[in-house]
Amino acid sequence: MQMIKNFFLFLGEKFIIFILELGQIAIFFGSSFIRLFQFPWQFQKLMHQIYFIGVKSISVVCLTALFTGMVLGLQGYYTLVQFGSEGLLGSAVAVSLIRELGPVLTAIMIIGRAGSSMAAEMGIMRISDQIDALTTMDIHPKRFLISPKIGASLISFPLLTAIFDVVGICGGYLSGVILLGINPALYIKGMEKTVVMNDVSGGFIKSVVFAIIVSTICLYQGYYTHRRADGFGAKGVSLSTTAAVVISCVTVLIADYVLTSFLL
């Protein structure tokens, strides 16, 4: 009986910690996001972050999108050809990319490229007292460090998702039309008929939500590296970076399911 009681006590304690952490993450995002609109604008820093998060991710996003589209084209062709419906390949590739794969894979690629880097940068700044130094200079660390990164993520994620979708569709075209010989008009027309504005806006909403999730979790993990009980110094930064990547990826997938169920 005591064991069961202890088990529920443990479960309850973990749940309360989880809810408190969730609240802290929400406050972290809110207080940083508001400071994005505080005068004087941090336009230069925002542009710098858009370059780092957005522009520098284009190549990796394009490469991932191209091969994802090509694989979709191949897999889709061999499945559809069994039913004599290979003409639907264009719509199958476009819908799966615009609704699901585009936003999710873009988010995961950005987590790997920019999210981990943001978490590590914040962690190193924390353990080397650089964040405290900002406080002592009366420069708000969240406004100076976090806000531009969140703003840049909110701008970069939807744009990169759009690039992913276009390149992915081209990849599907490459494998379906060029390699496997589907009629190009069928591919394009099928896509035109099936894809509606709701699909595009759904993908856009997802990319914005993923931008909030990824930037907030990665920055939060790095910013509060010093609070970790399981590691200090370089080990703490390494654990924070790992946690940022893992938690962001899992949360993106969970959020994708939740959003899809609302958007469908």
Interaction site with other proteins (CB under 8 A): 40, 121, 124-125, 128-130, 132-133, 135-139, 144
CB of 127 to other proteins, least distance (A): 10
For residue 208, give the nearest of 151, 263, 264, 125 by alpha carbon: 151
Nearest-angstrom CA–CA distance, 30 and 140: 14
Residues 6+ apart with CB under 8 A from 183: 87, 177
Residues 6+ apart with CB under 8 A from 189: 90
Nearer to other proteins, 2 or 136 (CB): 136
CB of 39 to other proteins, least distance (A): 11
Nearer to other proteins, 90 or 148 (CB): 148
Nearer to other proteins, 128 or 201 (CB): 128
CB of 144 to other proteins, least distance (A): 7
Nearer to other proteins, 114 or 163 (CB): 114
CB of 38 to other proteins, least distance (A): 12
Residues written for the chain:
264
Nearer to other proteins, 8 or 232 (CB): 232
Nearer to other proteins, 138 or 230 (CB): 138
Residues 222/244, Cβ–Cβ less than 8 Å: yes
Nearer to other proteins, 79 or 117 (CB): 117
CB of 163 to other proteins, least distance (A): 27
CB of 131 to other proteins, least distance (A): 9
CB of 135 to other proteins, least distance (A): 7
